[in-house]
C-alpha cells in the first residue's frame, strides 16, 4: 500500500495516486512551487541588476569600463544569460542584449546586440 506524500496517510484507491486528498496535493505542490519561485526570483533579480548596471554604463551601444567599476556597482560575474564565442576566439558574456568582453588589464568592452 502506498502512503500520501504530504501527510503519510495510507492511500485508498487507484494505484497511481500520490495523495490522500486534494488538500494534501495542493499543500505539497504549493511548497514545491514556493521554493523554486524563491530560488528563481533571486536569480532573476541578479540578472536584472547586472543588466541595469551594463545598460547604465553602456549608453552608446559600445564602451569600455573596468572590473573595479563594475564590482563597485554590485555587478556579479557569476550571472549572465548566454555566452557568445566568436570565430576569432573571443568570448562575450551577455545579459539579454547587453554583453561584455574581458580585455587586458581588467578592462571590459561593453557591447549591445542589435535585435
* Chain residues that interact with Zn ion, rule: CB under 5 A: 4, 6-7, 9, 20, 24
How many Å apart are CA 38 and CA 23, to the nearest integer?
A: 23
- Quote the cell numbers at residue 78: 557569476
- Minimum distance, C-beta of residue 3 to Zn ion, in the bound complex (Å): 8
- Minimum distance, C-beta of residue 98 to Zn ion, in the bound complex (Å): 48
- Minimum distance, C-beta of residue 8 to Zn ion, in the bound complex (Å): 7
- Quote the cell numbers at residue 94: 551577455
Phi/psi for 107 (5° steps) reads: -90, 150
CA distances from 54 to 25, 45, 114 (A): 43, 14, 15
Amino acid at each position: 500500500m502506498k502512503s500520501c506524500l504530504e501527510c503519510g496517510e495510507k492511500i485508498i484507491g487507484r494505484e497511481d495516486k500520490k495523495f490522500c486528498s486534494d488538500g494534501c496535493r495542493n499543500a505539497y505542490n504549493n511548497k514545491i512551487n514556493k521554493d523554486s519561485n524563491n530560488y528563481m526570483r533571486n536569480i532573476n533579480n541578479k540578472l536584472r541588476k547586472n543588466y541595469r548596471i551594463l545598460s547604465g554604463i553602456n549608453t552608446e551601444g559600445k564602451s569600455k569600463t573596468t572590473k573595479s567599476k563594475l564590482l563597485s556597482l554590485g555587478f556579479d560575474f557569476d550571472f549572465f544569460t548566454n555566452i557568445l564565442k566568436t570565430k576569432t576566439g573571443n568570448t562575450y558574456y551577455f545579459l539579454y542584449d547587453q554583453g561584455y568582453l574581458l580585455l587586458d588589464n581588467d578592462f571590459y568592452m561593453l557591447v549591445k546586440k542589435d535585435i
